[in-house]
């Protein structure tokens, strides 16, 4: 009986041990070996930071979280760091997670300009040098905003609107894309020219910047002149109006040299020719002379013409003077001239008499 009881007891213990499994076996608690020193880090939020969480420097485990307490609405975390890890003063601490569902750990980051001072046992990393990691709840909330009410929804709306706009007009959209591609090709081909323009613009900006003092002085010096012009704007406008009126009036007079449609010299010559024809030929056509006389009368203030002239020399026919020897063959009037004048006047009256007796035309 005893011989059979021992194998049965051994089999029962073996079955009981197998039923327990490896997941029920106790694991060694995390810990540090060797010398360590203590640091204190103050976080605004240490949510999801587990006890005995790892402390890492550049991805290497250098310690663990020793204790956590709440003080003045902040989380005071005590860190136990190995003595071999010397941290420079100004080191910051961040709460990170290797994966979205992974445990949170403390990541230490030295300052970019590390000095010769190092953190010692009991030193504190202040709140301004720490940052908390995003919780899984915050990540899920941001993801939901991104999917339902964020950029993806806006992108979907834009794509839908483009589809509605291009509905039935795909050829126009293709043409627009082709023109855009052609424009980009043109800009690409002219890159060198665009670069030259940009360099020229940069040089101009440099020149203007170098001459900024001169420009400022010029503007400052021109300030009083600009102020004077501003104060006399009305007077300047009045002068401009008067000059305009004067030029308008001058444009109505014929020019002396004939630079416009009429010529004063030509009109005077025509007037003199008409007067000469009237003196030499009683049957001369005086229509053009009468036309000119109307214009002359309008140019003077009355029925008479007024002339202001300086006489420097008078030549009277055969009478010599110090500046004129006299006209060759000329003579002074005598009684025969009076007889000739009376005969000429009678001849003219005889010619005009029949015209005066005729009925008016």
Residue 192 lies in a domain: no
Tell me the mean pLDDT in the region 295-317.
61
Residue 331 lies in a domain: no
pLDDT single digits (tens) 254-283: 555 555 555 666 777 777 777 777 777 777
CB-based contact 335:343 (threshold 8 Å): no
- 246 and 268 part of one domain: no
Half-sphere exposure of 177 (CA within 13 A, CB side): 7
Q: With bands split at pLDDT 50, 70 and 90, how would you rate the model's confidence at 313? A: low
- 82 and 163 part of one domain: no
Tokens at 67, concatenated: 């204790």
Tokens at 56, concatenated: 């890492």
- 158 and 243 part of one domain: no
pLDDT at 89 over 70: yes
- 41 and 115 part of one domain: yes
The residues that bridge with 118 in the sheet, in sequence order, are 88
pLDDT single digits (tens) 121-170: 989 999 999 987 666 677 777 777 766 665 666 777 777 777 776 666 66
- 42 and 62 part of one domain: yes
- 272 and 248 part of one domain: no
Lowest mean pLDDT among 160-164, 274-278, 301-305, 341-345: 301-305
pLDDT at 339 over 90: no
pLDDT single digits (tens) 31-62: 677 888 999 999 988 877 888 889 999 888 99
- 219 and 290 part of one domain: no
Whole-angstrom Cα distance, residue 348 to residue 353? 8
- 83 and 124 part of one domain: yes
Whole-angstrom Cα distance, residue 332 to residue 317? 8
Residue 243 lies in a domain: yes
- 183 and 211 part of one domain: no
Q: What's the number of domains the chain is made of?
A: 4
Half-sphere exposure of 153 (CA within 13 A, CB side): 8
Residue 213 lies in a domain: yes
- 73 and 125 part of one domain: yes
Residue 334 lies in a domain: no
Residue 295 lies in a domain: yes
Query: Could you tell me the residue range of the domain that residue 275 belongs to?
Result: 264-299
Q: Is 115 left (phi over 0), alpha (psi -120 to 50) or beta?
A: beta
Residue 38 dihedral angles phi and psi, to the nearest 5°: -105, 135
- 127 and 53 part of one domain: yes
Residue 227 lies in a domain: yes
Of the chain, the percentage scoring pLDDT greater than 90 comes to 11
Helices 233-251 and 212-231: crossing angle in degrees, nearest 10, is 70
Per DSSP, the three-state class of 146 is helix
Lowest mean pLDDT among 3-12, 215-224, 235-244, 347-356: 3-12
pLDDT the model gives residue 77: 93
Tell me the mean pLDDT in the region 181-202.
90
CB-based contact 303:285 (threshold 8 Å): no
- 103 and 55 part of one domain: yes
Q: What's the chain's average pLDDT? A: 76
Whole-angstrom Cα distance, residue 258 to residue 255? 5
Residue 63 lies in a domain: yes
């Amino acid at each position: 009986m005893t011989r059979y009881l021992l194998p049965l007891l051994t089999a029962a213990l073996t079955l009981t041990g197998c039923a327990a499994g490896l997941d029920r076996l106790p694991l060694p608690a995390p810990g540090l070996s060797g010398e360590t020193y203590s640091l204190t880090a103050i976080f605004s939020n240490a949510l999801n930071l587990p006890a005995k969480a790892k402390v890492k420097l550049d991805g290497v485990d250098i310690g663990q979280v020793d204790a956590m307490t709440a003080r003045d609405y902040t989380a005071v975390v005590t860190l136990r760091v190995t003595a071999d890890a010397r941290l420079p003063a100004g080191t910051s601490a961040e709460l990170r997670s290797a994966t979205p569902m992974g445990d949170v750990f403390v990541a230490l980051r030295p300052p970019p300009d590390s000095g010769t001072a190092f953190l010692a046992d009991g030193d504190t990393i202040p709140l301004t040098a720490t940052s908390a990691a995003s919780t899984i709840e915050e990540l899920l909330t941001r993801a939901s905003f991104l999917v339902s009410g964020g950029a993806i929804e806006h992108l979907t709306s834009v794509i839908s609107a483009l589809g509605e706009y291009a509905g039935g007009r795909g050829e126009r959209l293709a043409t627009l894309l082709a023109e855009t591609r052609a424009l980009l090709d043109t800009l690409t081909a002219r890159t060198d020219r665009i670069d030259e323009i940009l360099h020229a613009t940069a040089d101009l900006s440099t020149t203007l910047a170098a001459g900024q003092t001169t420009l400022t002085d010029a503007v400052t010096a021109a300030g009083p002149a600009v102020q004077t012009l501003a104060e006399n704007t009305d007077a300047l406008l009045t002068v401009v109006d008067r000059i305009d009126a004067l030029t308008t009036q001058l444009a109505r007079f014929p020019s002396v040299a004939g630079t416009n449609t009429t010529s004063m010299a030509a009109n005077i010559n025509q007037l003199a020719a008409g007067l000469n024809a009237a003196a030499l030929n009683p049957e001369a056509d005086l229509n053009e002379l009468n036309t000119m006389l109307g214009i002359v009368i309008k140019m003077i203030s009355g029925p008479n013409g007024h002339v202001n002239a300086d006489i420097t020399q008078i030549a009277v026919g055969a009478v010599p003077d110090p500046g004129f020897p006299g006209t060759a063959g000329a003579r002074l009037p005598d009684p025969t001239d009076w007889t000739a004048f009376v005969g000429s006047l009678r001849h003219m009256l005889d010619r005009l008499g029949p015209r005066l007796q005729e009925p008016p035309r």
